A = this chain, B = another copy of it.
Amino acid sequence: MLIVKKFGGSSVADATCIRRVAKTITDSYKEGNKVVVVLSAQGDTTDELIEKAMEINPEASKREMDMLLATGEQQSVALMAMAIEAMGYPVISLNAFQCNIYSTSTYSNARIKDISTERIENELENKNIVIITGFQGINRHLDVTTLGRGGSDTSAVALAAKLNADICEIYTDVDGVYTADPRVVKNAVKLNEITYDEMLELATLGAKVLHNRSVELAKKYNVNLVVRSSITNAEGTVVKEDAKVEKMLVNGVAVDKDVARIAVIGLKDEPGVAFKIFSLLSKAKISVDLIIQSIGRSDTKDISFTVSRNACNDALKVLTENKASLGFEDITSNTEVAKVSIVGAGMATNPGVASMLFEATYDEGINVKMISTSEIKISLLVNEKDADRAANAIHDKFITEDLKTRR
Contact = CB atoms under 8 A, between A and B. Distances in A.
A82 B97 contact: no
Contact of A64 (B71, B93, B142): B93
Interface string A51-70: 01101110111011101101
B59 A79 contact: no
Contacts of A82: 53, 56-57, 60-61, 64-65, 68
A181 interface: no
A81 B93 contact: no
Contacts of A238: none
A292 interface: no
Contact of A56 (B86, B93, B143): B86
A18 B53 CA distance: 11
Contact of A142 (B77, B81, B97): B97
A19 interface: yes
A56 B83 contact: yes
Given A57-B85, A82-B57, A75 B64 contact: no
A74 interface: yes
A61 B79 CA distance: 11
A81 B64 contact: yes
Interface of A: 15, 18-19, 49, 52-53, 55-57, 59-61, 63-65, 67-68, 70-72, 74-75, 77-79, 81-83, 85-86, 92-93, 95, 97-98, 119, 142-144
